[in-house]
Amino acid sequence: MQTYPINELERLTGVKAHTIRIWEKRYNLITPDRTDTNRRYYNDDQVRKLLNVTTLMAYGHKISKIASYSDDEMHNHIQQQMTIESQDNIGSGFINDLLKTMLEFDEAGFEKIFSAVVTRFGLFEGMLQVVYPFLNKVGVLWSIDKTAPVQEHFASCIIRRKLMAAIDGLLPASVQGQKFLLFLPEGEWHEIGLLFSSYVIRSKGYDALYLGQNVPTENIVKISGLLKPDYILTFYVAARPSAEIDSQLKTFAKSSPNAKILIAGNKELLYSSKAKFKTVTYLTSVHDLIAYL
């Protein structure tokens, strides 16, 4: 069973460590185990219980009342509330349910919740309102954090599969004369942000050539010369020297002098880039991408 220090429990649940300690003492809500040096640590069951608590609090339940519920009563209250509460609270419930099924490696449960998210919000809004906040909660923004635990990889693989299926279901390109080239440069492997970008671009009727992960720079140069894209879209997330990013961007710009280069990912990493290019634009969100469509 996975164990979590209190700072990681705070990150997963959104409950401050100080608040967790108060709930332990005042309500006996969860009882942590202790290391030899008396540091708190928690297991999967305790994380799931705290996620249920935060979901019920989002629905307006008081912590003093929640503390009296059994696990089954918590589950029943959540199921009842999800049928009647506002869209914002529904989103919070979905996020917590995704976290719980991720921790349990419950593939069928995770897929069922993901499908419910898409049914409720549609894929685009579901990604923005539920999936990205979920990924952000477990250390991921547009991609997976470099220190991701195995549960994050499990969840990300399912999300990748769902995005690929959604892309396959789109109609062929209908907008003429606007071509996008999408790829992750060498050393970049986590492609949820890139896949979602591909879905958005294709859903708007544009042509998008998707090359995937860890594409060697020389291959990009060769393909750019053949395709002559109007836009190049890539992500930088993995830590690397800013000079390396600058060098790659210069190469991309030289190989496609008429293309607009769009880059997204780790904001601190991207803004550390010292080179400035007229053809390069930094995207801060998917809405910035939509502005080009």
Where along the chain do the CATH 3.40.50.280 domains lie? 172-290
At 201 the three-state DSSP class reads helix
Can you give the pLDDT at residue 145? 38
To 5 degrees, how large is the angle CA 169–CA 187–CA 190? 35
Q: Which residues pair with 263 in a beta bridge?
A: 234, 282
- Domain span(s) for CATH 1.10.1660.10 in the chain: 3-164
| Predicted TM-score (pTM) of this structure | 0.70
Q: Residue 121 has what pLDDT?
A: 92
- Give how far Cα 228 sits from Cα of 143, 180, 186, 275, Å: 27, 9, 21, 23
Are 94 and 113 in contact, with CB atoms under 8 Å apart? yes
Which CATH code for domain 3-164?
1.10.1660.10
- Tens digits of pLDDT across the chain (293 residues): 678 888 888 877 778 889 999 999 999 988 888 988 888 888 888 888 888 888 888 777 889 999 999 888 887 887 776 555 555 567 888 988 898 888 888 999 999 999 999 999 999 999 999 998 888 777 543 333 333 467 888 999 999 999 999 999 998 888 777 899 999 999 898 899 999 999 999 999 999 999 999 999 999 999 999 999 999 999 998 877 888 888 898 899 899 999 999 999 877 677 666 556 677 888 888 888 888 77
pLDDT at 234: 95
pLDDT of residue 271: 67
Q: In degrees, to the nearest 5, what angle opens at C-alpha 30 toward C-alphas 29 and 31? A: 130
Q: Does domain 172-290 have CATH number 3.40.50.2000?
A: no
For residue 190, the model assigns a pLDDT of: 84
Q: Specify the pLDDT at position 147.
A: 38
Residue 57: per-residue pLDDT: 84
